[in-house]
Amino acid sequence: MNVKRTGGDFAGRRCVACAWLGLFAIAVVGCEPYPGTETSTSSSSSSSSSSSSSGATSSSGGGTSSRRPINAEKLCSRLITECGQAVTMEDCRSQFTAILVTGTCADALSSASCAELLSSTSRVLDTCFPPCSGTLATCNGDGSLTVCTTAGTTNVLDCEQACKADRGRAYSGTCGLSYGVQVSDRPQCWCM
């Protein structure tokens, strides 16, 4: 079975087009990956060890109880049409679909100006994706994974949606350090 891990820092490949897409882009070609975003069928990850780890396994894809999926359709529509970002709707949606946010974040996103959406230091970013340090990756026990990006922001990812965004893969039901014979140095959402 060909299994790929997604997580560690699934939410990111750093790109220039937009501060937001730069923080959360999933699969844009030609961008620098954050640690843990690599997908592989090898038995170990090349990224550094995690400062927080959990071997938790989960079969749910629902995300953390106080969070809900980001409205990728609405956010991408604003970023592209209102804020003039040069990215396709499909690429943009795939970047944000797996991200889970709080109600406070959803409210902040809906009222944010383009300047706030495009800034890498806005109150919206601080509200939605609090600062963090290190290489945090923690399975939450409910089908979601909390990661700290190299941009220093905290993201919560829905494993099922993260796998779907990774070329339509299915979530194995496992978030943790290993799946079958596959092993990682930090928790991952394991995709099939």
Q: Which amino acid is at 86?
A: A
Query: pLDDT of 57-111, one tens digit each?
Result: 333 334 456 899 999 999 999 999 999 999 999 999 988 999 999 999 999 999 9
pTM over 0.85: no
Reported confidence tier of residue 3, pLDDT bands at 50, 70, 90:
low
